[in-house]
Amino acid sequence: MEDTLKQALPQSTWSEPGCAAFDFRGDVRTNPTLDMLNAMAHASLSDGVATSDPTTHELEAYLAKLTSHPAALFVLSGTMGNLVALRSLLTQPPYGILCDSRAHILASEAGGAFAFTGAIPRPVEPANGVYLTLEDIIPHIVLPDSATVHMCPTRVISLENPLRGMIMPLSETCRICDFAHEHGVLVHLDGARLWEVVSAGAGSLEEYCSLFDTVTMCFSKGLGASAGAIVVGGEAVIRHARWIRQSIGGSIRQPGPLSAAALVAVKKTFGAGLLKPTHEIAQEIATFWEGCGGTLKHPTQTNMVWLDFTGLSFGLRQMIDEASRRGIFISRDRLIVHYQICSEAVSTLKQLMADLTSGEEPGK
């Protein structure tokens, strides 16, 4: 089918990764594939608001089963997924959300989860600099069964895994979730890139997701779909989440094509093992950077490489500009290797690192 589509659409932007093959700016820079286009062309076109679309039902059922949860809900983005999930868990104020101080819901999603829920954020910094532990959380959590009337009880702990490409081990996740549930606190997982954690061998989707009351996972981060995310949870929570999604304008009339592309992304990018090689390439780049005299801000555990320019004779701006001249895309001190990055881009990046760290003038 893919060869037939290539012949029929020789100039289609869906045919090849194109510029995405040279783009280290993010794992949302991938191009959707011809398989996704074909799935979209054959998707059902029923009403998503009325919950009558078969393709979307198929996607939701597949993800619910994959994560060992009773129900799932398709949403348009990971940001929307976190907002919908958290609002569905918080039913009666006063309430607070405890999260990592670097979490997306606090630092990168325009404050929507807190603005919409009215929850009080309680950010916590991990002592190990990598992931939160139960020991980090206990001094900061306000347990509902012991809080005084002067304090805002913590109703939800929101974890993120991975965070900045770093993995929270399954064992520590179990400790935190078990403690929370023992004390009547619900737990949400921002698992936008949880696919990477699983691909790294840290645990299965079922092992991680079954610990949480709600989980959000994104289809455009790493998997290659152009849009969409999933929220999984219990029947009652997802029923309420559907109501919340509608209230913020997140329901659409014909979600089938987006759901179809997402299903292909999960089965063919994640399911076929296309993410693990990106971790190996990221580690290769990180090791090369260190060999050139650079250092890393964070350990490379999945597909992210965090560059530290301390002590070097050049900075990020010079690297961005020279990368652009050489035909690769960088925008910050974080490099992300996605599954459509080509070997030529990796070679160009490594040569750039070698030239800059050796003091070689650009163009020589």
What's the pLDDT tens digit per position in 328-343?
999 999 999 999 999 9
Fold adopted by 34-270: Aspartate Aminotransferase; domain 2 (3.40.640)
pTM, entire model: 0.93
Average of per-residue pLDDT values in the chain: 93
Per-residue confidence (pLDDT) for residue 91, from 0 to 100: 87
Residue 250 in tokens: 């997140």
pLDDT at residue 7 is higher than 90:
no
Per-residue confidence (pLDDT) for residue 4, from 0 to 100: 54
Residue 305 in tokens: 């490489």
Read off the pLDDT band of 3 (50, 70, 90).
low
Contacts 24+ apart (CB under 8 A), 101-105: 101/125, 102/163, 102/164, 103/158, 103/160, 103/163, 103/190, 104/78, 104/79, 104/160, 104/190, 104/192, 105/158, 105/160, 105/190
- For the chain, what percent of residues have pLDDT higher than 70? 95
HEC sequence for 183-231: CCCEEEEECCCHHHHHHCCCCCHHHHHCCCCEEEEECCCCCCCCCCEEE
Enumerate the domain spans of the chain: 2-29+276-358, 34-270
Secondary structure of residue 174 in the 3-state scheme: helix
pLDDT at residue 230 is higher than 80:
yes
- For the chain, what percent of residues have pLDDT higher than 90? 84
Per-residue confidence (pLDDT) for residue 144, from 0 to 100: 83
C-alpha 259, offset from chain centre: 17
Asked, colleague to colleague, whether 2-29+276-358 and 34-270 share their fold, the answer is: no
* Nearest one of 119, 126, 188 to 159, comparing CA atoms: 188
Fold adopted by 2-29+276-358: Aspartate Aminotransferase, domain 1 (3.90.1150)
Per-residue confidence (pLDDT) for residue 209, from 0 to 100: 98
* Nearest one of 13, 67, 96, 52 to 242, comparing CA atoms: 52
pLDDT in tens, 148-179: 788 999 999 999 999 999 999 999 999 999 99
Q: Which residue has the tokens 């009558």?
A: 52
Can you say whether the dihedral through the CA atoms of 104, 264, 244, 207 is positive or negative?
A: negative
Please check whether residue 340 is in contact with residue 224, taking contact to mean a CB–CB distance below 8 angstroms: yes
What span, in angstroms and rounded, lies between the C-alpha atoms of 34 and 308?
38
Secondary structure of residue 74 in the 3-state scheme: strand
pLDDT at residue 10 is higher than 60:
no
Q: How many other CB atoms sit within 10 Å of the CB of residue 115?
A: 11
Residue 246 in tokens: 């509608």
Per-residue confidence (pLDDT) for residue 362, from 0 to 100: 54
* Nearest one of 225, 218, 194 to 208, comparing CA atoms: 194
